[in-house]
Amino acid sequence: METKRVTVSAVEELIGLYFPVLDHGFIGVRDYMGSDASIEGAARGSYAYGNRQKTDQRQLLRYLTRHRHTSPTEFVEVVVHCAMPIAVARQWIRHRTASVSELSGRYSLMPMLFYTPTDEQIKRQSKSNKQGREGELPKSVVWEWTHDLDQSRDSTSRLYEWATENDIARELARIDLPLSTYTVWTWKIDLHNLFHALSLRCDLHAQWETRQYFNVLAGIAKRLAPISFEAWEDYHFYAKTFSRMEMQIIREFLRQPEGFNGLEFGLPKTEAGEFLAKFDEPTYQNFDLDLTQAKPAEFFENKFREAAEG
Amino acid sequence: METKRVTVSAVEELIGLYFPVLDHGFIGVRDYMGSDASIEGAARGSYAYGNRQKTDQRQLLRYLTRHRHTSPTEFVEVVVHCAMPIAVARQWIRHRTASVSELSGRYSLMPMLFYTPTDEQIKRQSKSNKQGREGELPKSVVWEWTHDLDQSRDSTSRLYEWATENDIARELARIDLPLSTYTVWTWKIDLHNLFHALSLRCDLHAQWETRQYFNVLAGIAKRLAPISFEAWEDYHFYAKTFSRMEMQIIREFLRQPEGFNGLEFGLPKTEAGEFLAKFDEPTYQNFDLDLTQAKPAEFFENKFREAAEG
Amino acid sequence: METKRVTVSAVEELIGLYFPVLDHGFIGVRDYMGSDASIEGAARGSYAYGNRQKTDQRQLLRYLTRHRHTSPTEFVEVVVHCAMPIAVARQWIRHRTASVSELSGRYSLMPMLFYTPTDEQIKRQSKSNKQGREGELPKSVVWEWTHDLDQSRDSTSRLYEWATENDIARELARIDLPLSTYTVWTWKIDLHNLFHALSLRCDLHAQWETRQYFNVLAGIAKRLAPISFEAWEDYHFYAKTFSRMEMQIIREFLRQPEGFNGLEFGLPKTEAGEFLAKFDEPTYQNFDLDLTQAKPAEFFENKFREAAEG
Amino acid sequence: METKRVTVSAVEELIGLYFPVLDHGFIGVRDYMGSDASIEGAARGSYAYGNRQKTDQRQLLRYLTRHRHTSPTEFVEVVVHCAMPIAVARQWIRHRTASVSELSGRYSLMPMLFYTPTDEQIKRQSKSNKQGREGELPKSVVWEWTHDLDQSRDSTSRLYEWATENDIARELARIDLPLSTYTVWTWKIDLHNLFHALSLRCDLHAQWETRQYFNVLAGIAKRLAPISFEAWEDYHFYAKTFSRMEMQIIREFLRQPEGFNGLEFGLPKTEAGEFLAKFDEPTYQNFDLDLTQAKPAEFFENKFREAAEG
């Protein structure tokens, strides 16, 4: 189709392709609006008269990001079609400034597809990060659990199918489905709110399963507005914020640079650890999408329809 | 405690009491701000100078409601502590202009409490309302299903307890829990957005389980701002909206009043039915709270803690 | 440019054209996303499995509108570039669920363009609608006022130019500019929120000047999603809502149709008048855009730049 | 009045008192909800079961702030009554997640009160901060401008009074009023969004006039939730964020601490300056409210009414 709108060929390329996520999920771009050029245009409007423009696009976009002038990034939008375990959907939906149209378990049959973690992902309750996972479990525990999960989903999905076949209302029949059941939605978000969501959900402390989805979303954002994305990486994602107290220590050290080792500057113990950790090299993440992993939209559409309608 | 703030004794009375909802759930008022008087105050500020006030409070609040001047109702807030099945929470969370702090299945043990519908609530998939339930099922189907639900929850909760005892990360262990598992949250909303939510969720087409919660919220709103609540009932909840085409029919009929029976005014069939149904008496709902049903906060707090920690 | 996105030729045609509004203002489409087909797609996703599709697009979109299933309309977006008097901008900005990037009076010179109402628009303070205008004024009053306005803007703009030439900070120099000064912004909104804004601002009680802008926005929406727009007209804009009490009267009348004249059914006097007025034929508005009125974007861009930079 | 709600005596003390801001403006607390204890309560709900509580309130609130777990702060609200020049109101309203009920220039007479900067505040257009003011102006320029402002407001307010006395609709008569005219509104915001607004508007780059208002709002927040406020100061307001590139320099320096002077690490010039500036001691601000400055609500209410009604 012909359009006079701003067009981004690196995203055009994605339309019609779906990226697999976890064992049954996917993300595919449905629609988008804007680009780095739209952000630039919205920003330049605010100082249109009586100023000589000196900055180039890249300089301007990085300035905006660095100084948190985020309004212009709201003019870029992306729409994705996604399938994810309900447990993931429950975290995802907390990003309120977005639009969602979800498969309804009241109207529709739910697909009998359930998320099973791979053995490598099944870990201990983390001691340091009280909400995460960390550390090897005995193989026997892993195997017994995944075996029990399999059995549990078997009986759960048989019960769901029995109930819907016996005409029990779908809104009731679904209440016994586990949080690992896949749901499907169309999701729309603007780039400002997407960057905010990525900062939280691509973080290594986010739940691993949810992170797999947001890594793909990051890859999409990187193609949609590459200069703004790089600026987000440089000034937000890989940036470090030092508290008022930490800044005093750094300033002190700059005057008397004899090492941070004997850190007895009065920070509480937890914060002293966090302070030092800020100087570690971050774990850089590669947000590039691997297009060879993507499949045509129909592949997933058929899979989910079959899983729902049997 | 002493306060100079606006105080509503009918809500003060609720603080510390929890209303049971469904088999294990509850709603209790945690905090509130404002009243009918605050709405009046915010509204009067907009025509403060150069006008003689003639309206009394009731007239003014009803005028505001009738003409959808809703900004002043945003100055009233309520905070509730609630427990509901995850299936209900998933509908509830869609009301985006609200604040939520939910029990985290990553940090916390989930309570082993599951929603089981009563036999009367287990109905057929509705034919007329494609997302609802309607019509009796054979007793045997009802009994077999609830029996199977019981068994399913038994094995599901044993598996969760086994997994967490074996130190499998909580964020993973929970993925096999069913949508009937109870979760707990604190929820805050302003009265404008609450009225909007009540219009959708106290409607007889809303899922019955969710409706039970919003009926209690309606009862709380009725105590918090009784005049505005009555205006909401009169001008929104029990009001009927007639389309442009329906208005033409009504106008025609007012000129030639020979009955609506032979309705051949060109409406599509569905809309013709909807049109006539608008003239039926609505099912009036009693949103009064029955305080004899309420229990002290501790009752539920202990029950949930025990269900979580075993 | 080539795109795989949904494209709407009736809006493509608008890109690059600006519609004049009031004496110096304009609205031009900058970008858009989605169409009636996107709304349909988002909606169909919610009952994807286990249902036979029977409805056609038009039926579905009208059903969604009628029953206020508004989420799918959030997937359509439009971006416009606009210039309006600050007095209008102050009303417009109250639509919070939208994005704005405005000309900054701190960074930029403000254009020395001021709104002057035409003689026909200068009316008395309305007695019936306490916030509107209604009724002829003596010609002498109209002429004296517009004459005084002219003088006032002359001295005001000379003072602004003097101040900025003498290097007084722009953020200060502007504080003496009148509310009739034109400002410029880029504005983005989704179709759900646009329909809501149109319902308020195309209403005949909205300020006339603001209405001129929203009538153009309505014309854009009508081209962007014509079926949804028609449904909005039929089920919202030209619909009438009858209160609980009004419905009792109508029901009574349907049983005993002897005329609404001797209306002594107990409604308060104001509401009795509002009730009868609902049966009047509405003033139908023609939201079609007249493309012969539009001018190329450059026309306005040059005019504003010259008005700012002298 | 008696209440079972959380009560904060340091804010109770403020109710009924108005703080003067600029030459005619004010801020007074109308209502509030919550406290540090409410934030703590909302947060503890998320890890209610299966965890031993170890942290005290202060530790917890500071942890939440440090790690941007901001949801619990949404449970605290404050309502203020304020008067400010329209130029300030136009910046203030950009904080969208808040509620406003403003004096309507369509319904009401506007008060004939105009902001005039003091001589010390009248400065040059800043060269370094393109949107600010900086540097002395010739006294003659300052005097001539304020003299002209006085004259301009005289004629402007006479014209407004003439127009409204001659029954020109108020919505029109006001369009010639300058942006320095005072308006009045009631404003409600939750603490999360207030902190965000304070970060932007108490910053020394914010317009000085707007900053005077947000400094008072900061003082109110400091009394409402003192521990969270201190945490906001420590971890956000006085914190510094170092970009990915800056962190590489700091890490390098920590290994080879021979001074930051010869900074040739490849940062663009602007960023190199910004980097070094992050090590300067910040300008600490005293957000304490001075109660001796406050006046009873009636003082301002009478002043504004008289200025409107003449």
Nearest by CB to D87, which of C153, C166, C174?
C174
CA dist., res. B74 & res. B33, Å (int) = 10
Contact D145 C163 (CB under 8 A): yes
Chains that touch B (3 or more CB pairs under 8 A): A, C, D
Q: Does residue C195 lie within any of the structural domains?
A: yes
Q: Residues of C with catalytic annotation?
A: 201
pLDDT at B262: 43
Question: What is the value of ipTM here, to two decimals?
Answer: 0.92
Q: C108: which chain A residues are within 8 Å (Cβ-Cβ)?
A: 46-51
Name the least confident of C52-56, C149-153, C215-219, C261-265.
C261-265
Mean pLDDT of D1-22: 95
How far is C164 from chain A, CA to nearest CA, in Å? 10
Phi-psi region of C34 (alpha: psi -120 to 50; beta: other; left: phi over 0): left
Chain A contact for B133 (CB, 8 A cutoff):
yes
Tally of structural domains, chain D = 3
- Domain of residue A12 covers 1-113+181-238+287-310
Residues D40 and D140 in one domain: no
pLDDT at A117: 97
Task: Give the whole-number percent of chain B exceeding pLDDT 70.
Answer: 95
Q: C231: which chain B residues are within 8 Å (Cβ-Cβ)?
A: none
For residue B251, report the phi and psi dihedrals to the nearest 5 degrees.
-60, -45
Contact C171 D133 (CB under 8 A): yes
Candidate list D62, D153, D174, D201, residue with the active-site label: D201
| End residue of a domain, out of D153, D179, D205 | D179
Q: Residues of A with catalytic annotation?
A: 201
Nearest by CB to B107, which of D46, D100, D186?
D46
Nearest by CB to C180, which of D117, D159, D175?
D175
What's the pLDDT tens digit per position in B262-299?
455 567 777 777 777 787 777 778 878 888 888 888 88
How far is D127 from chain A, CA to nearest CA, in Å? 12
Residues D270 and D146 in one domain: no
Residues C146 and C105 in one domain: no
Residues C14 and C140 in one domain: no
Chain D contact for C177 (CB, 8 A cutoff):
yes
Q: How many CB pairs below 8 A link C and D?
A: 157
Name the least confident of A240-244, A284-288, C270-274.
C270-274
Q: Which residues contact C202 (CB under 8 A, 6 or more apart)?
A: C211, C214, C215, C218, C237, C285, C287
What's the pLDDT tens digit per position in C227-244?
999 999 999 999 999 988
Residues C110 and C129 in one domain: no
Chain D contact for B306 (CB, 8 A cutoff):
no
Chain B contact for A124 (CB, 8 A cutoff):
yes
Mean pLDDT of C207-229: 96
Chain C contact for B251 (CB, 8 A cutoff):
yes
**Short-list B295, B292, B245, B248, CA closest to B270:** B245
Q: Is the pLDDT of residue C115 over 60?
A: yes
Chain B contact for C235 (CB, 8 A cutoff):
yes
Residues A86 and A219 in one domain: yes
pLDDT at C262: 43
What's the pLDDT tens digit per position in D202-229?
998 999 999 999 999 999 999 999 999 9
The whole-chain average pLDDT of chain D stands at 91
Nearest by CB to C260, which of B239, B254, B279?
B254
Rg of chain A over CA atoms, in angstroms? 23
Q: Which residue of A8, A12, A33 to mutate against C (max C Cβ within 10 Å)?
A: A33
CATH number at C190 reads 3.30.1360.170
CA dist., res. A270 & res. A239, Å (int) = 20
Q: Is the pLDDT of residue C284 over 80?
A: no
**Short-list C7, C4, C41, CA closest to A16:** C4
Q: Which residue of D240, D245, D252, D281 to mutate against A (max A Cβ within 10 Å)?
A: D240
For residue C89, report the phi and psi dihedrals to the nearest 5 degrees.
-60, -35
Name the least confident of B51-55, C189-193, D187-191.
B51-55
Q: C77: which chain A residues are within 8 Å (Cβ-Cβ)?
A: 33, 77
What's the pLDDT tens digit per position in D97-135?
999 999 999 999 999 999 999 999 999 999 877 778 999
Nearest by CB to B47, which of D3, D42, D107?
D107
Residues D43 and D104 in one domain: yes
Q: Does residue C270 lie within any of the structural domains?
A: no
More confident residue, B8 or B277: B8
| End residue of a domain, out of B179, B206, B222 | B179
**Short-list D244, D194, D265, D196, CA closest to D224:** D194
pTM of the shown model: 0.93
What's the pLDDT tens digit per position in C34-65?
999 999 999 999 988 988 767 899 999 999 99
Mean pLDDT of A272-288: 78
Q: Residues of B with catalytic annotation?
A: 201
Chain A contact for D269 (CB, 8 A cutoff):
no
Q: Which residue of D188, D190, D301 to mutate against B (max B Cβ within 10 Å)?
A: D188
Residues B43 and B109 in one domain: yes
Chain D contact for C25 (CB, 8 A cutoff):
no
Confidence label for B228 from pLDDT (cuts 50, 70 and 90) = very high
What's the pLDDT tens digit per position in A170-182?
999 999 999 999 9
Q: Among all residues of chain C, which has the CA nearest to that of A44?
A: C103
Residues C188 and C54 in one domain: yes
Residues A29 and A107 in one domain: yes
Residue type, D1: M
pLDDT at A262: 43
Mean pLDDT of B99-116: 96
Q: Is the pLDDT of residue D263 over 60?
A: no
Contact B104 D46 (CB under 8 A): yes
Alpha helices (runs of H) in D95-243, residue ranges in sequence order: 139-165, 170-173, 191-201, 208-224, 226-232
DSSP three-state, residue D203? coil
Q: Among residues 64-103 of chain C, which lie with CB inside 8 Å of chain D? A: 85-87, 89-90, 93-94, 96-97, 100
pLDDT at D168: 97
Residues D132 and D268 in one domain: no
What's the pLDDT tens digit per position in A193-202?
999 999 999 9
CB C111 within 8 A of CB C182: yes
Q: Is the pLDDT of residue A264 over 60?
A: no
A291: exposed, middle or buried (Cβ count in 10 Å: 0-12, 13-18, 19+) = exposed
CB D195 within 8 A of CB C200: no
Q: Among all residues of chain A, which has the CA nearest to that of B207?
A: A171
Q: Does residue C266 lie within any of the structural domains?
A: no
Structure tokens at A79: 């729409």
Q: Which residues contact D182 (CB under 8 A, 6 or more apart)?
A: D24, D25, D83, D84, D85, D86, D111, D113, D114, D115, D304, D307
CB B75 within 8 A of CB D77: no
Residues B60 and B196 in one domain: yes
Chain A contact for C168 (CB, 8 A cutoff):
no
Structure tokens at A67: 């100084």
Confidence label for B257 from pLDDT (cuts 50, 70 and 90) = low
First to last CA, chain D: 37
Nearest by CB to C75, which of A42, A72, A79?
A79
| End residue of a domain, out of A135, A156, A179 | A179
Q: Is the pLDDT of residue D260 over 70?
A: no
Q: Is the pLDDT of residue D89 over 70?
A: yes
